[in-house]
Homo-oligomer: A and B are copies of this chain.
Amino acid sequence: MTESSSLDQEVAALAREAKAAARLMATAGTAVKDAVLRRVAHALVGSARAVVLEANARDMRAGEEAGLSPAMLDRLRLDGARLDAISAGLREIMALPDPVGRERERRTLPNGIELSRMGVPLGLVAMIYESRPNVTIDAGALTLKSGNAVILRGGKEAFESNRTLAAVFSTALESEGLPAAAVTLLPTTDRRATLALIQQAGVVDLVIPRGGEGLIRFVSDNARVPVLQHFKGVCHVYVDASADLEMATRVVLNSKAQRPGVCNALETLLVDARVADAFLPRVARELSAAGVALRGDEAVRARVPEAEPATEADWDTEYLDLVLSIAVVADLDGALSHISRHGSGHTECIVTEDAARAERFLREADASLVLVNASTRFNDGSQLGLGAEIGISTTKLHAYGPMGLEQLCSSKWVGRGAGQIRG
């Protein structure tokens, strides 16, 4: 037997075991699921803390030796304060309502059947992500609370950390009489194992890739199971001719600079030509003061000499950094056309005092969240009142936007009759 086919068989066996766990998790009650989360929350601030931090220190040393950037090392790092925050996050998930079995839309059909919909878990979710080990806990907790099982495949830089974190889950599951395999970490970060995982049709019910373009492309091109992409956010703010320019400045600054390294941060500012003279020098001054490097088209550079020239590639780039590209557009049509060509279906915002243009923008801009007069940074599960999220889906099927507990479920139709038949 070749090494590869033996790896395939190992992954297939793990997936089958996790799927069997998913069937049990689907009928687990809220109390026992919350008890598992409580045990994990306790362990991270108590019994498991030392071993987790030790494993993380090994990952950090290996990462330093491998020459990871300071930003990557920071994403990788766990410490007491971060474990406290992760533990607090688990308590927030415990406090959220259980989506499984929840009834919606009850009505009586003309024939007397009582019809409703009931939340049901999706089954076995595969989560493919990159460096941050806290995603291991978030994804484990959210899939568990929503009655699913999960197979996690994190980044190789965080492998030791992830292994101890997944073990904390498995111990907690077993202590509550639930199957340890409900939270399974893929035992290798070998890409062939990932490939085998995303081809378990009929066993894995959904794969969520969350990360860079290469990862998403690899999963989408090779999966034989449904994929919900959590892709990049090339988010725009369009400042319309009627905008309150003081408000526009505030929204742009917050969207770009409040936390530039995340997917709902602003990447491209579009300015209506009619307010370019009044708005551009002013917003450029404030952005520069906040440390944001500017890139602009010719119309921008005529008004903002310090802006570097933007290349065609800039309009499609998610900087995740203190960099902003700026273009002047003729009007709302120009803005919508730019967004249609370069938007990533994540978050789009118009700043305007004109109600008709606001409504047209809301209707026509294609993104999981469209906003009038508010920061793009609001595209986030907690901010929108969904509770914690596993990420933000840029796939229109099933869940478009933040994916919380409800989006990790499906719903089935339920009919209660008294012997009704079709005529």
Chain B residues whose CB sits within 8 angstroms of the CB of A417 once the complex forms: 371-374
Chain B residues whose CB sits within 8 angstroms of the CB of A107 once the complex forms: 385
Whether a CB of chain B sits under 8 angstroms from the CB of A50 is no
| Contacting pair B115 A421 (CB below 8 A) | no
Size of the A side of the interface (Cβ < 8 Å), in residues, is: 69
Chain B residues whose CB sits within 8 angstroms of the CB of A255 once the complex forms: 421
| CA A358 to CA B206, docked complex, whole Å | 30
Whether a CB of chain B sits under 8 angstroms from the CB of A362 is yes
Whether a CB of chain B sits under 8 angstroms from the CB of A244 is yes
**A358-381, CB < 8 A from B:** 358, 362-364, 366-375, 377-379
| Contacting pair A415 B122 (CB below 8 A) | no
Q: How many copies make up the complex?
A: 2
| Contacting pair B115 A420 (CB below 8 A) | no
Whether a CB of chain B sits under 8 angstroms from the CB of A200 is no
Chain B residues whose CB sits within 8 angstroms of the CB of A400 once the complex forms: 120, 410-413
Whether a CB of chain B sits under 8 angstroms from the CB of A332 is no
> Nearest 4 pairs between A and B by C-beta?
A374-B417, A254-B421, A247-B419, A398-B398
Please report A residues at the B interface, Cβ cutoff 8 Å.
23, 26-27, 101, 107, 109, 113, 115, 118, 120, 122-123, 201, 205-206, 220-221, 224, 226-228, 244, 247, 250-251, 253-255, 258, 340, 358, 362-364, 366-375, 377-379, 383-385, 395-398, 400-401, 410-422
